[in-house]
Amino acid sequence: MAHRPLLERISRITGRAATNARPLSGGCVGEVLSVTLSDGGRVVAKVGAGLEPEGWMLAYLAEKSRLPVPAVLHADDGLLLMEYVEAGDPLDQTAEAHAAELLAELHGIGWQAFGLERDTVIGGVPQPNPPTERWLDFFRDHRLLFMADQARRAGRLPAAVMARVERLAVRLDRWIEEPSHPSLIHGDAWGGNVLCHRGRVAAVIDPAIYYADAEIELAFGTLFSTFGKAFFRRYEDIRPIRPGFWEARRDLYNLYPLLVHVRLFGGGYVGSVERILDRFLG
């Protein structure tokens, strides 16, 4: 059996015999498996390199917020073991409204600075989080310029596009204002990471947390059409969105996840970055 050593290890960790493992969808960073236990229970195992930060982030969210996340049973750099969450339903309008309530509450959790007490990852890519007093400085240096440089070093962002990102970076204060406080964000809340069951969000997985302008989370929610009108109507009932978000900041903030995708995949995502640069640089 291909997974026998893994099953034996999971048996030792859980104290219950792990009898079978089958692949689950997802797993940009590692292989994701549904593992059946001898008592009929199930756990989810993620196997790959550098998984400890993901386990830490899930535990952080469980401690600091009411965002539903899978309980972490074990986390090290090669294995993340989590509770199994019953899900698989679509992110319909009812679930979108529930997601808005959950994220609005999460965004109400603040901290002393932008960033986090440790560095994390997004899609397996390093995500530096040095505590920073001003959001503009944090977003410019540790999100936009950092990820553009990561993509350039990987050979996926042309030098000419990198130069344009640098030009935009020195002009960000034309469009970005300081938010009232740093907000805890999930950081990677696209549709594949929002697990739904019977019109509710059952769990949000694969976090990339830090304290940010909450609008960067909202922007990402529009990038791949994860959230629509039902989400934003409910979110604004709880936390009004500041003027200028839809007009400018949404596209500026989406440069970060797009650059993450350039770093990971290259290809057409470079064109998406260039289209936003065209809008703001002419």
The set of catalytic residues is: 188
Token pair listed for 233: 């109507």
Q: How far apart are CA 206 and CA 80, in angstroms?
A: 11
Sign of CA dihedral 67, 70, 73, 76: negative
Q: Which of 107, 57, 117, 103 lies closest to 82 in space, CA to CA?
A: 57
Residue appearing with tokens 């903030």: 253
Strand ranges for the chain from DSSP E: 18-23, 31-37, 42-47, 72-75, 79-83, 120-122, 125-127, 183-185, 194-197, 200-204, 210-212
Residue appearing with tokens 């059946």: 36
Close Cβ partners of 57 (under 8 Å, ≥ 6 residues apart): 120, 207, 208, 209
Q: Which of 252, 101, 138, 258 lies closest to 190 in space, CA to CA?
A: 258
Neighbour tally for 144: CB within 10 Å? 21
String of DSSP letters for 94-113: HHHHHHHHHHHHHHT---SS
Q: How far apart are CA 245 and CA 251, in angstroms?
A: 9
How many CA atoms lie within 13 Å of 181's alpha carbon, on the beta-carbon side? 9
